[in-house]
Structure 1
Amino acid sequence: MAQHEPEIRRELFGRVGDADVHRYVLAWPGGLTVRVLDLGGVIQSLEAPDRSGVPANVVLGFGSLDEYVKNNQPGGNRVFFGALIGRYANRIAGGSFTLDGVEHRLPLNNGPNTLHGGPEGFDTRIWSATELRSADSVGVRLSLESPDGDSGFPGAVSAEVTYLLDGDNRLSISYRATSDAPTVVSLTNHSYWNLAGEGSGDVLGQSLMVNAARYLPVDDDLIPLGDPVSVAGSPFDFHAPTPIGARIGGTDPQLLIAGGYDHTWVLESGSVAAEAWDPGSGRVLRMWTSEPGVQFYSGNFLTSELVGPGGRAYGRAAGFALEAQRFPDSPNRPDYPSAVLRPGEVYQQETVFQLSVVD
């Protein structure tokens, strides 16, 4: 293969029990290199050049399969580095919801709530993978069959997630799901970004813009209280690019509840959903999504016990997450955008991340 051509290759990453786990390397000459695992659909690394053309891995992750498996243990302090989240991203209050008059009970894994599909969510599964190549992109399509009753959710769901990398330094993530019975679905990717490079310190000096006039305040269990409220005059106003750490240490009750930012912003339509910038490297991250909300998490509970593939310990605010999704607890909130998926319907979502640089 000529050096100027994009590349996709499969590598054996390790074994879980009797199952092989593979890593798919998507590389664009002079652009991005993305490594995706079929375990949990994890984006293990994403290398992007800085303003001098020097590449660095700008997402948090682990260097070995053993560390991913250890982090997925039920009851542990799971961080979901780079993982695909399902069946339902974010929290469902009380671990239950009622659909068409039938109550469904889910396993609890976040105090009184079910978080990210429960202790055995989609991030813990080995997905079937298909390599993709076209004239203008390389990628991998991941497929998963989730049976009726899986982690308490009704309906047999067929899920498909496609990662595509192109020459404009864009990583597109397309989601598709169908069900044979009424259910709820909200999928996302849980990558943590550090535009200075993973393990380089915290992200508090990196600037963020979120195209949202409202956000969802939460209770002590991080469940939305009700209607979205205006961000105006609050630490949640990121209309203008603002350092992540500029107001994070303030006394706003919502910041104190979450230990920082861990909230959903209600996105405005028709524009970039979010943009982040690192002044040191010049790297810029732009995000577009078809989803109504984005969960911005400032890495409040990351610890130095987490060590990245570069061998450096992380710690609080070592990365930030931008999770495109339906609203938290939407299955219990008929006033929120619906997450119900019925037979004959197709759940679809697309989120695009683009990396660039500024002087």
Structure 2
Amino acid sequence: MDRSGLKTEIFGTLANGETVEAVTLTNANGMSVKIIGYGASIQSVCVPDAQGRFADVTTGYATLDEYVAQPQFYGATIGRVANRIAHARFTLDDEEYTVPTNDGTNSLHGGDVGFDKVNWTVTTCDAVALSVTLRHFSPHGDQGYPGNLKVTATYQLSADNALSVTYRATTDAPTCVNLTNHAYWHLSGEGAPHDAMDHLLTIQAEHYLPVDSGLIPTGERRSVAGSVFDFRTPKPIRDHVRNFANAQLRHGRGYDHHWIIDEDVASEPRILAELKDPHSGRTMTLLSNQPGVQFYAGNFFDGSTTGKAGKSYYIGDAIALEPQMFPDAPNQPSFASVALHPGDVYENVIVWQFGTAASA
């Protein structure tokens, strides 16, 4: 029986009276994904395990009020500039810009009111292609960034259990853009009794970006060989994640670093990372056209937020893998530029391919 379809509903209402839409995509295999307008966020991803049992494998809240009251970037679109900008300032075309300091002395994930905290407009729903497109307009001066920016996010669910998002942006004046999605993953299910640290992780990178104590890249490209950052062959995240004898892991209280796949954007998505859960047998392959991936091991979950299954999230309960340009690129001349100019189109394509492994 073909279970595929598209369903729209109201997820909630904001204090200003705006309604937040939700769109659920379901393919013929029964895999379903719910996208909400608030933050253009992935609210749920339900996929089968090796025995065909479904579970929701991404973190998130059950209600809109929780997303607003306790923002945690769950499944959200991040922008205008993902990751950190040192000292919350940058120079573009010889003009200096100041952006919000919301991470110590630095700016994080677009500022105080980044793209994760605005209500995107659902513009197109396609029940045949199983896709939904959302739109956001960020005016000149928004969070200190120049230029009027038009952004779209198109989510699509394929017949072979792949979820993708394509981000596109255009501007009427030079600006900086580095979008990503901040979904957290626990392939046993977001309410599982164990954390995600047993997941086997592979990252197709020979180098990573060391950071200072503020988690700003130093500019060095360091080899992963012989280090706790070598994920070229699959290994459990737990093996080294709390090895605080390593200065880099002390800085982030675990992994919160950027791995280099290439030096610039590719013409097509390529494999960045692979994740396998030995408990459920679920697997996830991450692809993108972006040159790097930020791996964050959920180091700051402290039990203060409760997910859809009613379980509080604690350290290591889920991980994030965020394809993007290099962090602090506006201040690092040796990194590929994140400047966007009128007439150009920014594009980030992310694919999460789900499957199962026989050796569960």
Q: TM-score range by the shorter chain?
A: over 0.9
Report the equivalent of 2:295. Answer: 296
1:230 and 2:229 correspond: no
Alignment counterpart, residue 132 of structure 2, candidates 117, 126, 140: 140
**Secondary structure of the structure 2 residue equivalent to 1:143:** strand
Worse-superposed segment, 121-130 or 213-222: 121-130
Report the equivalent of 1:48. Answer: 47
Give the letter aligned to residue 60 of structure 1. Answer: T
Contact between 1:31 and 1:169, CA under 8 Å: does it hold in 2? no
- TM-fit CA distance, 1:131: 3.6
**Secondary structure of the structure 2 residue equivalent to 1:109:** coil
C-alpha separation in 2, matches of 1:324 and 1:41: 16
- TM-fit CA distance, 1:130: 2.7
- TM-fit CA distance, 1:5: 4.9
C-alpha separation in 1, matches of 2:228 and 2:77: 29
Gaps of 5+ in 1: 73-78
Alignment of 1:100-119 (within 5 A): 100-119=93-112
Report the equivalent of 1:76. Answer: none
C-alpha separation in 2, matches of 1:168 and 1:132: 20
Report the equivalent of 2:352. Answer: 353
Report the equivalent of 1:338. Answer: 337
Report the equivalent of 1:259. Answer: 253
C-alpha separation in 2, matches of 1:70 and 1:170: 31
Give the letter aligned to residue 71 of structure 1. Answer: Q
Structure 1 consecutive aligned stretches of length 4 or more whose deviation exceeds 2 Å: 130-135, 268-271
TM-aligned CA distance change 1:341 to 1:208, over 3 Å: same
1:279 and 2:281 correspond: no
Contact between 2:70 and 2:305, CA under 8 Å: does it hold in 1? no
- TM-fit CA distance, 1:30: 2.0
- TM-fit CA distance, 1:189: 0.4
**Secondary structure of the structure 2 residue equivalent to 1:181:** coil
Give the letter aligned to residue 178 of structure 1. Answer: T
C-alpha separation in 1, matches of 2:212 and 2:30: 42
TM-aligned CA distance change 1:271 to 1:178, over 3 Å: closer
Report the equivalent of 1:75. Answer: none
C-alpha separation in 1, matches of 2:355 and 2:10: 31
- Provide Cα deviations, 1:23-63, integer angstroms capped at 9, x if missing partner: 11111132421011101011111000000100000000111
Worse-superposed segment, 17-26 or 179-188: 17-26
- Provide Cα deviations, 1:301-323, integer angstroms capped at 9, x if missing partner: 01212111111111001100000
Give the letter aligned to residue 19 of structure 2. Answer: D
Alignment of 1:61-210 (within 5 A): 61-72=60-71, 79-133=72-126, 135=128, 137-200=129-192, 201-210=194-203
Alignment counterpart, residue 211 of structure 1, candidates 201, 204, 213: 204
- Provide Cα deviations, 1:52-109, integer angstroms capped at 9, x if missing partner: 100000000111111100023xxxxxx2110000000000000000001100000110
Contact between 1:306 and 1:313, CA under 8 Å: does it hold in 2? yes
Contact between 2:124 and 2:134, CA under 8 Å: does it hold in 1? no
Report the equivalent of 1:9. Answer: 7
Contact between 1:161 and 1:175, CA under 8 Å: does it hold in 2? yes
Query: What TM-score do you get using the length of structure 2 for normalisation?
Result: 0.95
Give the letter aligned to residue 101 of structure 2. Answer: L
- TM-fit CA distance, 1:223: 0.1
Query: What TM-score do you get using the length of structure 1 for normalisation?
Result: 0.95
**Secondary structure of the structure 2 residue equivalent to 1:305:** strand
How many residue pairs were aligned? 350
**Secondary structure of the structure 2 residue equivalent to 1:280:** coil
- TM-fit CA distance, 1:239: 0.2
Contact between 1:85 and 1:189, CA under 8 Å: does it hold in 2? yes
C-alpha separation in 1, matches of 2:21 and 2:302: 27
- Provide Cα deviations, 1:210-246, integer angstroms capped at 9, x if missing partner: 0000000000000001121100011000000010111
Contact between 2:8 and 2:21, CA under 8 Å: does it hold in 1? yes
Gaps of 5+ in 2: none
Worse-superposed segment, 290-299 or 246-255: 246-255
Worse-superposed segment, 268-277 or 60-69: 268-277
**Secondary structure of the structure 1 residue equivalent to 2:173:** coil
Contact between 1:199 and 1:318, CA under 8 Å: does it hold in 2? no
C-alpha separation in 2, matches of 1:57 and 1:191: 12
C-alpha separation in 2, matches of 1:53 and 1:132: 28
Report the equivalent of 2:29. Answer: 30
**Secondary structure of the structure 2 residue equivalent to 1:209:** strand
- TM-fit CA distance, 1:258: 0.5
- TM-fit CA distance, 1:254: 0.3
- TM-fit CA distance, 1:249: 2.2
Contact between 1:25 and 1:34, CA under 8 Å: does it hold in 2? yes
